[in-house]
Amino acid sequence: MEKLDRVKIGIIGCGRIADLNILGYLDHPKCDLIAVCDLSEDLARQRMKEWGARKYYTDFEKLVSDPEINAVEILLPHRLHLPAVLSAAKAKKHISLQKPMCVDLWEGRKMIEAAKEAGVWFRVTENFIFYPPYRLQKQFLDSGEIGEPLSVNIRLCGAAGGWWVPLKTWLWRLDLQECGGTPSVYDDGYHKLSIAKFLLGEIDTVKTWIDFTFGSVDTPALVSWKYKSGQVGVWEVTTAPNLLTNGKYYGADEWVEVTGTKGVLTANRCTSRLMEIPPLVLYKDGKHLAIDDLRDDWGDSFHDAGWHFIDSLLEGKQPLLTGEDGLYLMKFWKAIWKSHSENREIRMDDLGEDDR
Amino acid sequence: MPRFLQKAIPNLIFAGFRWWLLINSNRSLAFQFKLAQRVAFAITGDRFLKNVIGELAEIFEQEGKEAETARNLFRQADREYSAAIVRSFLQED
């Protein structure tokens, strides 16, 4: 595919997460924000003024038909991902789609096919792999700082605090069909599954236990897995509504620890700033190295994800995550849910491709 | 105030609120939330509070899946959890 001289972006969906996704598009020297789109005309108009876009739409079909635009960032509820991606592909716009990719594997495959047929770049936006402490953690891991990796331990705690999110936005996430999965392990969990794969590669088997609070919030939960390369991983999911986080964004925080034969790497935050300790700590040879001099605001990961998309289009390269990566994470979720539903270990390779 | 009353009163208020929410129809709740929105704004002048109550009114007025999900949540939530979540929702940016 040809390289672009400039990226002329249209933003589809102006809700809460757009506050972060927009960051990279606003300050890249070779990106112009052409238009925004939201079902709410008031919100679309407000965002147009706030971000300095040239125009606004209330119908994404009209935005993707705008000849000035050559790429779109789709920030819609999950049920609308497929129609928006198909329209954008048909209109020959390069596509960045906010995670999670789709509500089932069939939709994901349709998206990938449509983008290939149209000859446009398609990526699933997943910001955790652009979070600077995680990127440095991965670099240390790959360079052998902690020896051979043995395990990954991820913890997520949903807590109090954070910015205002409209009530309706929370409620549809509690509906399995509307969301495509459960709110913590699937919707927010997509990031953690992505990090799990980012750090140590493909998954062999999965074993899960999920309990529910209020009948619809999937915590507490414990997801465990074995990598194809032999290491193990575990992800603990909890909700503590009386635990106050110091964060600008959602009331939640994560810890990611990788243990190796010679040391341990711990990333101590991501979404929030639950504790004021260094964002990354390397322990090896009996010594701690606390890495403080690192961009560690969650917003930085969105900014960098946006720049990565723009730079990829300018260089004519595939941006991350690919559609296939996005689909793989959907399969990881399917394995988790199947393990929970059937109360047994699930092998990823045994999962069927069709789920309609 | 005696300690037992300090514990009992919030539990009673919560139980009363939950009973009120579950026995009213969606339309009735929407109407009452809109009324509460006007009263709350007239007394406090707080736009954020006005928007939050307005959202609740809209959810029940539309009578869709979100209204059903909200009802399920209220049916199952206990007082402490609900109070923490309400505090979280009412925290402005």
In this structure, the answer to whether residues A63 and A148 fall within a common structural domain is no
Element (DSSP H or E) covering residue A20: helix A18-21
In this structure, the answer to whether residues A222 and A189 fall within a common structural domain is yes
What span, in angstroms and rounded, lies between the C-alpha atoms of A255 and A268? 5
Give the three-class secondary structure for A135: helix
- A246, A263, A296 — which closes off a domain? A296
Rounded to a whole number of angstroms, the distance from the CA of B88 to the nearest CA of chain A is 5
Longest dimension (CA), chain A: 60
pLDDT digits (tens, 9 = 90+) for A117-172: 999 999 999 999 999 999 999 999 999 999 999 999 999 998 877 888 888 888 88
What span, in angstroms and rounded, lies between the C-alpha atoms of B17 and A224? 40
- Is residue A2 in a domain? no
Rounded to a whole number of angstroms, the distance from the CA of A302 to the nearest CA of chain B is 19
Question: Residue B14 gets which letter from DSSP?
Answer: H
Would you call A175 and B69 a contact, using CB atoms and an 8 Å cutoff? Answer: yes
Residue pair A156/A145 in contact by the 8 Å Cβ criterion: no
- Is residue A99 in a domain? yes
In this structure, the answer to whether residues A143 and A259 fall within a common structural domain is yes
A216/B contact by beta carbon, under 8 A: yes
- A296, A330, A348 — which closes off a domain? A296
In this structure, the answer to whether residues A14 and A109 fall within a common structural domain is yes
In this structure, the answer to whether residues A285 and A157 fall within a common structural domain is yes
Q: Residue A6: which of A96, A97, A71, A95 has the closest Cα?
A: A71
Residues facing residue A94 across a β-bridge: A71
- Is residue A343 in a domain? no
Handedness of CA B18, B22, B23, B26 (dihedral sign): positive
User: Could you tell me the residue range of the domain that residue A169 belongs to?
Assistant: 128-296
Would you call B69 and A216 a contact, using CB atoms and an 8 Å cutoff? Answer: yes
CB contacts of B72 in chain A (<8 Å) are 214-216
Q: Tell me what pLDDT residue B6 has.
A: 74
Q: Of A214, A216, A251, which has the smallest distance from its Cβ to B88's Cβ?
A: A251
- A296, A311, A327 — which closes off a domain? A296
In this structure, the answer to whether residues A133 and A116 fall within a common structural domain is no
- Is residue A353 in a domain? no
Q: Which ranges of chain A does DSSP label H, i.e. alpha helix?
A: 18-21, 23-27, 41-51, 60-64, 81-90, 105-118, 132-142, 167-173, 176-179, 189-200, 298-315, 323-342
Would you call A171 and B76 a contact, using CB atoms and an 8 Å cutoff? Answer: no
pLDDT digits (tens, 9 = 90+) for A54-98: 999 999 999 999 999 999 999 999 999 999 999 999 999 999 999
A320 or A242, greater pLDDT: A320
Angle between helices A298-315 and A132-142 (to 10 degrees): 70
- Is residue A168 in a domain? yes
Percent of chain A topping pLDDT 70: 99
- Is residue A354 in a domain? no
The pair of three-digit structure tokens given for residue A246, joined into one six-digit string: 């110091």
Rounded to a whole number of angstroms, the distance from the CA of B91 to the nearest CA of chain A is 7
What span, in angstroms and rounded, lies between the C-alpha atoms of A115 and A284? 45
Would you call B85 and A241 a contact, using CB atoms and an 8 Å cutoff? Answer: yes
Would you call B55 and A164 a contact, using CB atoms and an 8 Å cutoff? Answer: no
For residue A26, the tally of other CB atoms under 10 A from its CB is 14
In this structure, the answer to whether residues A256 and A311 fall within a common structural domain is no
A39/B contact by beta carbon, under 8 A: no
Would you call B72 and A215 a contact, using CB atoms and an 8 Å cutoff? Answer: yes
In this structure, the dihedral spanned by the alpha carbons of residues A273, A279, A284 and A288, taken in order and rounded to 10 degrees, is -80
Q: For residue A54, what is the domain's CATH number?
A: 3.40.50.720
Q: Tell me what pLDDT residue A234 has.
A: 98
Q: Which ranges of A182-253 does DSSP label H, i.e. alpha helix?
A: 189-200
What span, in angstroms and rounded, lies between the C-alpha atoms of A84 and A86? 6
Q: Residue A8: which of A69, A49, A50 has the closest Cα?
A: A69
> Which residues fall within 8 angstroms of residue A320, CB to CB, at 6 or more apart?
A123, A126, A129, A308, A312
In this structure, the answer to whether residues A177 and A97 fall within a common structural domain is no
- Is residue A313 in a domain? yes
Q: Tell me what pLDDT residue A225 has.
A: 98
What span, in angstroms and rounded, lies between the C-alpha atoms of A207 and A336? 7
Q: For residue A264, what is the domain's CATH number?
A: 3.30.360.10
Would you call A164 and B93 a contact, using CB atoms and an 8 Å cutoff? Answer: yes
Distance, CA of A203 to chain centre? 18
Question: Residue A59 gets which letter from DSSP?
Answer: -
* Per-residue confidence band for B75, with pLDDT thresholds at 50, 70 and 90: confident
Interface test with B, best of A42, A214, A249 (most B CBs within 10 A): A214
The region of weakest confidence among A155-159, A268-272, A277-281 is A155-159
Average pLDDT over every residue of B27-40: 93
What span, in angstroms and rounded, lies between the C-alpha atoms of A55 and A36? 7
In this structure, the answer to whether residues A230 and A100 fall within a common structural domain is no
Q: Which residues 24-63 of B are in CB contact (within 8 Å) with A?
A: 48, 52, 55-56, 58-59
ipTM of the complex: 0.72
B70/A contact by beta carbon, under 8 A: yes
Q: Residue A306: which of A1, A19, A34 has the closest Cα?
A: A19
- Is residue A351 in a domain? no
Average pLDDT over every residue of B53-62: 90
In this structure, the answer to whether residues A255 and A132 fall within a common structural domain is yes
What span, in angstroms and rounded, lies between the C-alpha atoms of A255 and A195? 11
Q: How many domains does chain A have?
A: 2
* Per-residue confidence band for A319, with pLDDT thresholds at 50, 70 and 90: very high
Residue pair A286/A262 in contact by the 8 Å Cβ criterion: no
In this structure, the answer to whether residues A43 and A119 fall within a common structural domain is yes
Q: Tell me what pLDDT residue A247 has.
A: 81
In this structure, the answer to whether residues A255 and A277 fall within a common structural domain is yes
